[in-house]
């Protein structure tokens, strides 16, 4: 099987993708968190995952 994965960060209130990157490992999502300010991290209200162990 050949799969290509994309990790998306979505603002569900505004129905907008605010960040994405190829892959689905925790390191991919770590790059998002490193790039935002601490206040933005504190404003995250919920998280939805697909259940993959990598996150």
- Tally the domains of the chain: 1
% residues pLDDT > 70 (the chain): 91
What's the pLDDT band for 10 if we cut at 50, 70, 90?
Answer: very high
For residue 51, is it within any domain? Answer: no
33: domain range? 6-42
Give the per-residue pLDDT at 19. Answer: 94
Residue 1 domain-assigned (yes or no): no
Give the helix/strand (H/E) hosting 6: strand 6-11
Q: In the prediction, which pLDDT does 50 show?
A: 75
What are the structure tokens assigned to 17, written together? Answer: 């993708």
The radius of gyration computed from the CA coordinates of the chain, to the nearest angstrom, equals: 12
For range 25-50, the mean pLDDT: 86
Q: Is residue 48 situated within a structural domain?
A: no
């Amino acid at each position: 099987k050949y799969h290509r994965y994309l990790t998306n960060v979505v603002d569900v209130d505004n129905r907008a993708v605010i960040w994405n990157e190829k892959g689905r490992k925790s390191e991919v999502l770590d790059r998002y968190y490193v790039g935002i300010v601490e206040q933005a991290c504190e404003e995250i209200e919920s998280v939805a995952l697909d259940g993959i162990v990598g996150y």
